[in-house]
């Protein structure tokens, strides 16, 4: 089909099949192979190109690096080839190091995401098969059911009570009814009821559709391209951005000041310019993006080992910050395997007829596979050879009922089951005993309600069952769900999971409080809450919630333990209120009715067995539906958060202090305290230990409580620990200048050596709040740190050192440097103890 023609909704099915060179039975394998070459994968291009070349070039797009490369070119133009080569080499090594680490992280994450690929049922060679949505091509005929994500813009061929949520595309909250039809070419998007759009999902019903457009040719693809849609910014990402602004301000002021003063003292302009730029490189944590990417990728791999798959890396930090977890009941807090406890008539007696009718309803249900129907069919099997299914009105979350129409002996029987309240609303009569049907008076209704309440308080779930004979001349639709005969109660139970009490206690120890959100009635919800260890639970029902203003909910939401009888939009409202009340909120759910809450939460969590739309919306997917698995994931998220902060602490302490010291020394020395190339080497060497921070071990106390970004704390940390570093830098300078009477080359060599060793030692100090000898670093971090200390010690003895302007030092110099570093370590430990003691008061 012509890619520029978007009016497929105005075609007839036959003409569209002809245009698409397809048929109602789908494409053949040979046709698929040809079409794949033409259309490619069904994906929307992500923000920016993430290919290898692009990733490599991204390492050098920093404005500071670009200016440095320009300065190197200017240096070459002025004939200083040696300095030019050294600066370019250092920049390249630093960039390639970041590229190698980020590329490994990117590949690891892509392999993890393949685990939770979303599938779609498609007709190929006339047979239904399940394939990845990325493999869908124009001309494919797809089969859809409730919970399925629509993989491409499609033309509706067949449907049964099809309702689709198009909120992702149109913003319309309520599901849209779809039907086979022929529409005018100028029909607006929202009114194209015979069309299905990529990125939307099926709420209820079934359908067969022809895929017309995929990937960027879809409406969703065009909007994404036009708006350049980006994922929402997490709290941590926002904090990193603000931290970057802080350092940028400090760096610009300092660099401009230093450059101006050096020019004032009539020092060579190019040398002063390069010196200022080198300081800027040292002051700027240019590795921060790479460190974050590496930390997140390592965190994602560790979480995968704990059966937690991260779809959106940024969500890991929010996972570590989470202090409230909202959970559905079924399958998360309970086993998720529903059992049929009993079937009763309106009087509370066992009813064989009600069981048989319930079996008819469950056996012929085809719209949405669910555990309730499986439980009914497993309880007892009946012979339905005399019955033939005629029609079905699928379950949806507005009606909360499911109707099946069957035919026997030329008579039509409609059987409906659903939530008791909704069933009672459509019943005008009641069968009080076999064949005895009377008007459904208040006394009979009270008896049913009393049985319902008694069963619910025991933690049993109760559904209603009704039936009636249908006139074959009348249309079978939702309007038929009235004037029915109440037949009985379906009593179900879903026991709490083993060790769920311990799991909830484990989360509580981690500082995460649990809030149960369920569609079950308040009696069942309260009973289950008691069983799982939530004592004296405060329960808020959906009806109470609907009467409550947003302000009132905001004041009460933190005190509520259980939200019962909730609608899907109520779940979203609860999550948003919790967030507005100052919490970092996680939501775990796996159904269609959980999608809005998953989207609204700081961290949306689902399971591998969830409906496709839930997996597509969630940030994190659990391979096992267990709170213990989730708690392990929370700890891994906090480890990732902690290791990212470690780099920031290092960048704002020893490194920052060293650069600040050099800037200050340049003001009163008759020469530059370090050459630009020496500053760049110092910065490069101190980067190596910090790149291995992602592998570092974490102190137990660092994962016990939720963690949040605190820019004020980081500012205080930078001032305090950066000042300590500067004090010992100036102590080094004083010793070299006053006692050793070092010449220019000796002073620069000794200062470079002390700067690198002290910054490397600081990595081992700052990485923990404990005394450093009571917290073991990872092997790679320790070895890298010791290696860099050794390299800088022997560097002045090598030809490379001579090129850098370094000279060999006597043992007395190394002794003085060792003594200063030892004093620095002791002082740093003392300051650290006082600093953390004050902030914990």
For residue 487, give Cα distances in angstroms to 401, 517, 841: 15, 30, 65
720: exposed, middle or buried (Cβ count in 10 Å: 0-12, 13-18, 19+): middle
Residue 759: closest CA among 687, 672, 664:
687
Q: Is the CA virtual torsion 706, 711, 713, 719 positive or negative?
A: positive
- 3-state SS assignment for residue 469: strand
811-817 LR contacts (CB < 8 Å, sep 24+): 812/740, 813/740, 813/742, 813/746, 813/750, 814/753, 816/732, 816/735, 816/736, 816/739, 816/740, 816/750, 817/732, 817/750, 817/753, 817/754, 817/757
Residue of 140, 328, 494, 602 with catalytic role: 328
CB atoms within 10 A of CB 297: 24
443 catalytically annotated: no
Six token digits for residue 10: 């105005």
CA 771: distance to chain centroid?
Answer: 35
Backbone angles phi, psi at 172, to 5 degrees: -70, 125
Q: Is the CA virtual torsion 647, 653, 655, 656 positive or negative?
A: positive
Residue 325: closest CA among 514, 82, 133:
514
Which residues, 6 or more positions from 257, have their beta carbon under 8 angstroms from its beta carbon?
A: none
- 3-state SS assignment for residue 208: strand
- DSSP codes, 96-145: HHHHHHHHHHHHHHHHHHGGG--EEEEEETTEEEEEEGGG--TT-EEEE-
Question: What angle do helix axes 676-691 and 779-794 make, rounded to 10 degrees?
Answer: 160
With b for 16 or more beta-carbon neighbours within 10 A and e for fewer, the 60-72 pattern comes to bebebbeebeebb
For residue 414, give Cα distances in angstroms to 482, 597, 839: 11, 34, 69
Return the active site residues: 328
């Amino acid at each position: 089909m012509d890619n520029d023609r978007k009016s497929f909704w105005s075609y007839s099915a036959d003409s569209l099949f002809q245009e698409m060179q397809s048929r109602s039975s789908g494409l053949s394998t040979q046709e698929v192979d040809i079409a794949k070459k033409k259309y490619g994968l069904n994906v929307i291009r992500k923000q920016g190109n993430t290919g290898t070349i692009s990733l490599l070039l991204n390492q050098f797009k920093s404005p500071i690096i670009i200016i440095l490369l320009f300065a190197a070119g200017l240096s070459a133009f002025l004939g200083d080839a040696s300095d030019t080569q050294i600066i370019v080499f250092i920049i390249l090594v630093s960039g390639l190091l970041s590229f190698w680490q980020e590329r490994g992280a990117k590949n690891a994450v892509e392999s993890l995401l393949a685990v939770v690929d979303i599938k779609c049922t498609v007709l190929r060679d006339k047979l239904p098969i399940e394939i990845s949505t990325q493999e869908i091509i124009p001309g494919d005929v797809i089969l859809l059911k409730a919970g399925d994500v629509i993989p491409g813009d499609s033309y509706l061929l067949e449907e049964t009570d099809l309702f689709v949520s198009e909120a992702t595309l149109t913003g319309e909250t309520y599901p849209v009814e779809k039907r086979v039809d022929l529409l005018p070419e100028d029909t607006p998007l929202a009114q194209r009821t015979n069309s299905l759009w990529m990125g939307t999902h099926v709420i209820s019903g079934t359908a067969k559709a022809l895929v017309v457009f995929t990937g960027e040719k879809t409406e969703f693809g065009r909007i994404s391209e036009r708006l350049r849609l980006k994922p929402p910014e997490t709290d941590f990402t926002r904090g990193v951005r603000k931290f970057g602004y802080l350092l940028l301000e400090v760096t610009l002021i300092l660099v401009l000041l230093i450059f101006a003063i050096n020019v004032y003292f009539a020092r060579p302009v190019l040398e002063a310019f390069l010196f200022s730029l080198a300081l800027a490189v040292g002051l700027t944590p240019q590795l921060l993006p790479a460190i974050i990417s590496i930390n997140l990728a390592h965190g994602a791999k560790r979480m995968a080992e704990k059966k937690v798959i991260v779809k959106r890396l940024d969500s890991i930090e929010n996972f570590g910050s989470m202090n409230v977890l909202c959970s559905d009941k079924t399958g998360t807090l309970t086993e998720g395997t529903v059992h049929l406890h009993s079937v009763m008539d309106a009087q509370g007696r066992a009813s064989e007829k009600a069981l048989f009718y319930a079996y008819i309803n469950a056996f012929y249900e085809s719209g949405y596979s669910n555990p309730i129907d499986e439980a009914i069919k497993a309880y007892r099997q009946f012979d339905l050879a005399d019955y033939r299914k005629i029609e079905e009105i699928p379950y949806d979350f507005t009606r909360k009922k499911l109707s099946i129409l069957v035919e026997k002996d030329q008579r039509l029987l409609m059987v409906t089951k659903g939530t008791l309240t909704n069933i009672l609303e459509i019943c005008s009569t009641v069968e009080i005993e076999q064949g005895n049907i009377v008007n459904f008076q208040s006394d009979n209704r009270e008896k049913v309600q009393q049985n319902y309440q008694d069963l619910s308080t025991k933690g049993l779930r109760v559904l209603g069952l009704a039936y009636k004979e249908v006139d074959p001349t009348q249309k079978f639709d939702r309007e038929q769900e009235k004037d029915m005969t109440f037949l009985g109660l379906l009593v179900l139970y879903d026991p709490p999971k083993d060790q769920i009490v311990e799991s909830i206690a484990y989360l509580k120890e981690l500082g995460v409080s649990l809030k149960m959100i369920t569609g079950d009635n308040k009696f069942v919800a309260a009973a289950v809450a008691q069983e799982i260890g939530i004592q004296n639970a405060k329960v808020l029902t959906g009806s109470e919630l609907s009467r409550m203003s947003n302000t009132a909910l905001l004041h009460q939401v933190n005190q509520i333990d259980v939200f019962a009888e909730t609608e899907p939009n109520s779940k979203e409202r609860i999550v948003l209120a919790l967030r507005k009340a100052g919490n970092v909120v996680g939501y775990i759910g796996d159904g269609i009715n959980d999608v809005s809450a998953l989207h609204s939460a700081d961290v949306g969590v689902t399971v591998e067995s969830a409906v496709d739309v839930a997996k597509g919306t969630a940030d994190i997917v659990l391979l096992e539906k267990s709170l213990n698995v989730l708690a392990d994931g929370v700890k891994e998220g906090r480890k990732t958060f902690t290791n990212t902060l470690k780099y920031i602490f290092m960048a704002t302490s020893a490194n920052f202090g060293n650069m600040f010291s050099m800037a200050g020394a340049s003001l009163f020395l008759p020469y530059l305290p370090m050459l630009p190339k020496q500053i760049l080497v110092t910065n490069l060497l101190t980067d190596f230990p910090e790149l291995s921070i992602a592998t570092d071990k974490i102190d137990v106390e660092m994962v016990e409580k939720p963690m949040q970004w605190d820019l004020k704390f980081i500012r205080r940390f930078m001032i305090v620990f950066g000042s300590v570093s500067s004090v010992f830098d100036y102590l080094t300078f004083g010793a070299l200048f006053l006692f050793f009477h070092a010449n220019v080359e000796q002073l620069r060599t000794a200062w470079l050596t002390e700067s690198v060793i002290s910054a490397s030692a600081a990595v081992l100090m700052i990485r923990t709040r404990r005394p450093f000898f009571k917290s073991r670093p990872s092997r790679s971090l320790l070895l890298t740190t010791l290696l860099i200390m050794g390299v800088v010690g022997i560097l002045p003895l090598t030809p490379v050192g001579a090129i850098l302007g370094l000279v060999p030092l006597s043992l007395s110099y190394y002794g003085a440097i060792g003594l200063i570093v030892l004093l620095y370590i002791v002082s740093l430990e003392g300051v650290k103890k006082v600093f953390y003691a004050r902030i914990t008061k």
